[in-house]
Amino acid sequence: MSSPLLIPDVLCGLLLFCAFTVLCALDCTPRKSVPYESSHLKVFREEGIWNYSSMLMREDLGLLILGAREAIYALDINNISFAKAKASWQVTQEKRNECTYKGKHPDIECRNYIRTLHQINSNVMYVCGTNAFNPICDDLTYVDGKLKLQGKQEEGKGKCPFDPFQRYSSIVVDGDLYSATVLNFLGSEPVILRSSQTVLRSEFKSSWLNEPTFIYMDVVPESMDSPENDDDKIYMFFSENAVEFDFYSKLVVSRVARICKSDRGGLRTLQRKWTSFLKATLDCPVPGNILPYVIQDVYHVRYDNWRENMFYAIFTSQSASNDVSSAVCAYSVLDINGVFAHGKYKTPVPVEASHMKWVMYTGDLPVPRPGACINNAARASGINSSLDLPDKNLQFIRDRPLMDDSVKPLTGKPLLFRRGISFTRLVVDRTFALDGQAYLVMFVGTDNGFVQKAVNYNGEMHIIEELQLFRSPEPITVLRLSTNTSQLYAGSASGVVQMPVADCSRYSSCLDCVLARDPYCAWDLSTQHCTTLPSPSKDVDLVQSLKEGNPSRCPDPVPVKVMNRSLVLGNNIKLPCQKDLILAKVNWSFTGKPLNPSNRKYSIYSDGLIIYNASAADAGRYACGTVEQVLSKQYHRTLAIYELHIPSLVNDKDNTEVGMSKEESPTTAPTVVEPSPPQSRSTMNSLMAIEIALAVVSVLLLALLLWNFSKGHLSLHRFSRQKPSKQPSKQPRSLPPNDSAPYLRQEDTSLESTERAGLFLYPNNNHRNGTDRSLKYAMDESEI
Ligand SMILES: *[C@@H]1O[C@H](CO)[C@@H](O)[C@H](O)[C@H]1NC(C)=O
Ligand SMILES: *[C@@H]1O[C@H](CO)[C@@H](O)[C@H](O)[C@H]1NC(C)=O
């Protein structure tokens, strides 16, 4: 029996499905979603301390130095739940009053957020905090198991942001701090600064930095094995308002810039300013998108030979609509280098009244090339440092720091793409698989507290799994990788978690282990376990198939135990079957023939089957399985088998329990759903009224949906109550939480056990937001 709700429900489901197939050609869905409880995390948080936003790995000391609001911790790198030491660093009352007086929030902005943590040498670390909008820095030591601030109270302007919410970046190279942040309280003076003997900084010009958001910087040792005696370079990543497009008033673009480490500024022009500051647009082209994606984080993949180095970067969409999506693009250092070393420059030309247009510069270039580091060729012509550069050269670069060419990603397109989710941070691990090859595994933090573990096999995007790291959906604000311990550390406003890069024991069968295509894991044929590579023992027979996902060497699966169930005539019977894969389809068979999901006698959910109004004809064998598609091949797995039989009249009651096997989880529902006690008229009436109301709302919503669809601004996230970024975009088997739009697709809903006769349908999205946000449709059995 179908409730009137089901008609719009199915239609909505179909529409969603169509929308997905159109919009998500490029999209990627994780194979599995690991909920918080199963993620095996080590957690650190301290009562009353918030905003764990900076980390420094001290693998030499076995420590993770953690910066939070008004506190610094030294955590055991192997188990961060254990804090070895703590140093408090609070704002003085005077500074706090000053800050409050200037209009900042006393409990939010007028505190000391530790934002900078660097290692200076083996004994000394450098730390800066926002200090109630008055940044200061200090030296920090770890001696005799104690963290100690040295009380230097160094000026932090230009080294650390004033605003705790503002992005910035800094590194220490050869003892000098390079920082990209702002110089003033208002945040209107962006700067790229080197705090060395002679302080060097960027020019205050919008052609240099135009309301930038600084993301990342790192050094590439390009002087190494350089035949031209080239210099080391500091690469910076940021987004800013474009100066070169006059079509849009404010268009944000992503940039990579670089400076030479030995830059000393100019003699007259560009005195104490960078003479080697060059920047270029960073492209991460997503098909079908007009507005460029905006950079959010970068990870530097280093090799012994820097020429192989890469920068992995995450980008999110910028658009007025709330249809968020994210991508990962990778860039080779040599490609970036090539644009700066050989590319054309852009130059401003005045058009009409005081308006500038940026076009490619086609005139003659001064020698040496503007912005180039000092190399052998320059030295040969008597230029030994940037102080010797001719004025004409410096003027050129002062006015034209922007390259005409943009930097294109390796392979020309994103390595990973997801709709409906905002990526916030990433790290990339390099691991050697069974085939002897190194694979780069991306760990991408999201704004709802998940990490996506993904690889790209020859252009094919594959998200091995996503793991929920925080119980409540909150953005991951810092993500670090320790290659020594193979652990990942993620921080958020509320705490820090530690997780291993792989937990192969989660793959329970050979098929599961191999089809996961996880480069860290292989199936051990002798012990029948999914084991982490490299395997401790040498002579083991392992199965792994990363690019092909070929499980042909797997032994035949262990047969699934048959569970007996009693059939009570006229009752609704529920057979649980929990699928573990997001992408796989669940299918049921009855006496060897596939069950027709459109038969109204059955409802198939992601975690079970309901047979309505059981009759003698329903007795027999039911089997539940999944079909997983891997590279155009389909793999079947049986998850559960039930034998439904009509109990003999004697011992009718007890038979219900007969045959319940040990494998069943204790939460499994009783097999037979007892008929409900007769409902009172009024309850029935009110339930009926609710249902009719829901039906009306559904029809209205459907109409709205169709209208939106026809207007061409259909976005899946409009259905959801939450911010779209918190939602999975393509979760074919889960539903956004929604109290008012009852578009339950049959296979999309999950089924919860209940002792009552009513049928409760829960959208199966618990894995996404930790808390149980499910809505319940209580449908009285008598109406079914
Ligand atoms: C600090 O944490 C609090 C509490 O979760 C949060 O509301 C606030 O936005 C965080 N502040 C920053 C600067 O991240
Ligand atoms: C249940 O099935 C029987 C026949 O098998 C039918 O007579 C009866 O009307 C059904 N009950 C409901 C509530 O549909």
Q: Which residue has the higher pLDDT, 143 or 740?
A: 143
The rounded Å distance from CA 768 to ligand 1 centre is 21
Average pLDDT score over residue span 293-315 = 97
What CATH code would you report for 30-38+421-555? 3.30.1680.10
pLDDT at 693: 56
Average pLDDT score over residue span 57-84 = 94
Query: Which numbered atom of ligand 2 lies nearest the CA of 613?
Result: 1
pLDDT at 249: 67
pLDDT at 104: 92
615 lines ligand 2 (CB under 6 A): yes
* Phi, then psi, of 149 in degrees rounded to 5: -85, 140
Query: Which numbered atom of ligand 1 lies nearest the CA of 164?
Result: 13
Query: CA angle at residue 234 from 230 to 236, to 5 degrees?
Result: 140
Ligand nearest to the CA of 477: 1
81: left (phi over 0), alpha (psi -120 to 50) or beta: alpha
* pLDDT band per the 50, 70, 90 thresholds, residue 478: very high
Computed over every residue of the chain, the mean pLDDT equals 81
For the cut 70, the answer to whether the pLDDT of residue 373 exceeds it is yes
For the cut 80, the answer to whether the pLDDT of residue 221 exceeds it is yes
For the cut 70, the answer to whether the pLDDT of residue 390 exceeds it is yes
Topology (CATH) of 562-675 = Immunoglobulin-like (2.60.40)
Burial label for 438, CB within 10 Å (0-12, 13-18, 19+), is exposed
Q: Which residue has the higher pLDDT, 660 or 467?
A: 467
Average pLDDT score over residue span 185-196 = 94
Query: Which numbered atom of ligand 2 lies nearest the CA of 782?
Result: 13
- DSSP conformational letter for 483: T
pLDDT at 284: 95
Ligand nearest to the CA of 784: 2
**β-bridge pairing 460-468 and 32-34:** parallel
* Phi, then psi, of 348 in degrees rounded to 5: -85, 135
| Shortest-distance Cα residue to atom 1 of ligand 2 | 613
Domains in the chain: boundaries: 30-38+421-555, 52-201, 222-418, 562-675, 681-783
pLDDT tens-digit series, residues 744-772: 333 333 333 333 333 333 333 333 333 33
Pairwise CA distance, residues 221 & 308, whole Å: 12
Ligand nearest to the CA of 424: 1
Whether the CB-CB separation of 424 and 379 falls below 8 Å is answered with no
| Shortest-distance Cα residue to atom 7 of ligand 1 | 493
Average pLDDT score over residue span 710-727 = 42
Query: Which numbered atom of ligand 2 lies nearest the CA of 570?
Result: 1
For the cut 80, the answer to whether the pLDDT of residue 668 exceeds it is no
Ligand nearest to the CA of 617: 2
Model confidence, pTM: 0.79
Burial label for 399, CB within 10 Å (0-12, 13-18, 19+), is middle
* pLDDT band per the 50, 70, 90 thresholds, residue 319: confident
Nearest to residue 379, comparing CAs of 370, 389, 371? 389
**Superfamily of domain 222-418 in the CATH hierarchy:** YVTN repeat-like/Quinoprotein amine dehydrogenase (2.130.10.10)
Mutate to test the pocket of ligand 1, among 45, 47, 49, 51 (most ligand atoms within 8 A of CB): 51
Whether the CB-CB separation of 643 and 660 falls below 8 Å is answered with no
The rounded Å distance from CA 710 to ligand 2 centre is 42
Which residues does 552 contact at the CB level (< 8 Å), separation at least 6?
A: none
pLDDT above 70 covers a percentage of the chain that reads: 77
pLDDT tens-digit series, residues 572-581: 888 998 877 8
Buried b / exposed e along 551-573 (16+ C-beta atoms within 10 A): beebeeeeeeeebbbbbbeebbb
Least confident window among 467-476, 662-671, 677-686: 662-671
Least confident window among 42-46, 404-408, 560-564: 560-564
Helices 6-23 + 681-711 axis angle, to 10: 30
pLDDT tens-digit series, residues 200-209: 999 999 999 9
613 lines ligand 2 (CB under 6 A): yes
pLDDT tens-digit series, residues 102-141: 999 999 999 999 999 999 999 999 999 999 999 999 999 9
pLDDT above 90 covers a percentage of the chain that reads: 58
Buried b / exposed e along 234-252 (16+ C-beta atoms within 10 A): bbbbbbbbbbbeeeeeebb
Nearest to residue 515, comparing CAs of 548, 554, 549, 541? 549
- DSSP conformational letter for 347: E
Mutate to test the pocket of ligand 1, among 50, 424, 496 (most ligand atoms within 8 A of CB): 50
3-state SS, residue 13: helix
